[in-house]
Structure 1
């Protein structure tokens, strides 16, 4: 009996010793290399790219943590004792960043921490709005990886900008921008480039002696008119005052007709705009804008001022209507290349008395 007990104890001790030896032989978690696409980057990776981790004791992967705060998901089916694969995440809300940072792997054999460098991708420009830009107006740039911007240039000139997000930027275009200029957004990741084409912009008048129409006069039921009032958005401006007279039933101002503003190829009303800086002495003052063509056709557009402060009013040509803006036929079929006169006045039928309208920087724009 004693011999049997002794024999069993010897067998038990042998089993314990064998198991201990097995555990001693089991490798602890160790990472030899992290290899990422493209080009087999070593211990470096771009966001959203796959990384292959190579080493020993990697079986039974339980958790991956980047930068001590971002848990990374993985597919356990792509896990062996020698390697596994995961994808580098990038989420601003979770605090993702570029540069060298720790990454920790917890496997069935233990935990190991290494450093990996998250590289900043080259930015891209996918879209600009509007597609055809206008000098002096804002332009929205849409794209990817707009982080840590060092500069934005157009034709080599540095631009001011507002970063809306990592995929959207608003830039201010200079008034002297030239069509075909190259827009460049530069970050530590590289540069994104796009050729910018600009709209055709014709200055009708800025009331400072510039533009294709310079000598303005008024007509009809006006009380007073001054085409050289000082203190406008960019110098002098025009002021037309209507004090309630209805003797003629109309009023306005013009610098006359002449040659067309646009060339023959600018013939699409849906691409034609009138830009005018406006203000007034009272909210509710109603502007009456009239366009005449070399064929003797006229269309109008009427709008009320909702703020006495200066603002730029942009009007699409196809929104103009016949019968001085009160008709039912739009100017959608009008050939913009035939427009040769712009008139500005007060719509007498529905304006406060008196109304003093102010206007400046009249332009016709084709894009």
Structure 2
């Protein structure tokens, strides 16, 4: 209310200034050799917000610059009197603590400290998959003042476990959603993440900590459930590709197999690469090329020694192309040529 009254008063002063004297209307308020700012309201705000500066001798302003990357703010001189100035934060102002630098027609500069608030921005996530009660850590910027996180379009708030300027950890609740983005709110406003999160509780599981839904090890080479590395839980599927073997390692459901269902939209999985980066190929017994090491129509690039997330449309993979229930799903490599390579697969699922 106080801010509104200030704006009304300043606007009234501006109107009086315009109408009281034709010369003043042409030249604007007079500059001072000793401008003094008493207050800027609000003291922190996002881009495009209206700011009101009050003080003495602050007329005759010719330029306003936010000094983080020197972003200029446009303003109407009619809203600048000896005691007040109204202008908007530029839409491209850089978020963070900085000075607003004013210069008047006498060449005198004066500054006001200000904090431009930035919308949350998410650049990385600890996992795309979750079960009820698990924590997900989001990495990015402008996260220290986050006040609310919800599933996109929902109202129930997720528990914020911890937050810093660059990280935000939330506890994921039970949900009937198969996959969802997050709406994240801070002082600057609300954004929707580009990242989409998958509730494993509502997915069809092939491997999560162990074989699921009748699947077993269907590998040509050495493979096993391993506790050496995991992306979720405590275990992953360890597949070793022997030098020069051209083997296909993966999963099998020999009986009855997995019939086609339009409910399944994506195959997703995490894989931790080996010593070198390699191109692997997804293979399946009901794909057009059959199961084995001749089908190169579904390549994936697996970087060395890091976990990489894949989410592939089942309509592109055509695991049921031949018409029957699929019984084999694997990953093969032509080689490897230089040494044995060991990969770790986790959270191998169909997303509905």
Q: What's 1:135 paired with?
A: 129
Aligned partner of residue 330 in structure 2, secondary structure: strand
Residue 277 of structure 1 aligns with which residue? 271
User: In angstroms, what is the RMSD of aligned CA positions?
Assistant: 6.0
**Among candidates 245, 251, 256, match of residue 254 of structure 1:** 251
Asked whether the 8 Å contact 1:73–1:86 carries over to 2, the reply is no
In the superposition, the TM-score normalised over structure 1's length comes to: 0.49
Cα displacement string for residues 189-219 of structure 1 (whole angstroms, at most 9, x for unaligned residues): 487486997446433113x435324432444
Unaligned runs of 5+ in 2: 1-29, 131-135, 151-156
Distance 1:332 1:162, change over 3 A: farther
Deviations 1:93-151 (A, max 9, x none): 89537xxx9x989689xx9x9x9997977x767x9899xx9425776889xxx475155
Correspondence for 2:206: 204
- Which structure has greater strand proportion? 1
- Paired residue secondary structure (1:351): coil
Tell me which structure has the larger Cα radius of gyration.
1
Alignment: residue pair count: 288
Q: Alpha-carbon deviation of 1:44?
A: 2.5
Q: Following superposition of structure 1 onto structure 2, how do residues 114-153 of structure 1 map, counting pairs within 5 Å?
A: 134-136=128-130, 146=142, 148-149=144-145, 153=149
Cα 1:77–1:211 shift into 2, 3 Å: same
Residues 269 and 345 of structure 2 are in contact (CA less than 8 Å); yes or no, is this contact kept in structure 1?
no
Unaligned runs of 5+ in 1: 1-26, 35-41, 165-169, 320-329
- 1:232-268 CA-to-partner distances (Å, cap 9, x unmatched) read 22325333454656xxx8654533244538842335x
Q: Please, what TM-score do these two structures have when normalized by structure 2?
A: 0.51
Assess, with a 3 A threshold, how the Cα gap between structure 1 residues 186 and 293 changes in structure 2: closer, same or farther: same
SS, match of residue 78 in structure 1: helix
How many Å separate the matches in 2 of 1:66 and 1:316? 47
1:44 aligns with 2:52: no
Matches within 5 A, 1:68-79: 78=78
Deviation at 1:230, TM superposition (A): 4.0
1:331 Cα deviation (Å)?
3.9
Displacement of 1:352 in angstroms is: 2.5
Structure 1 distance, partners of 2:72, 2:345, is: 58
- Whether contact under 8 Å (1:51, 1:87) holds in the other structure is yes
**Equivalent pair of 1:289/1:345 in contact (CA under 8 Å):** yes
Alignment correspondent of 1:364: 349
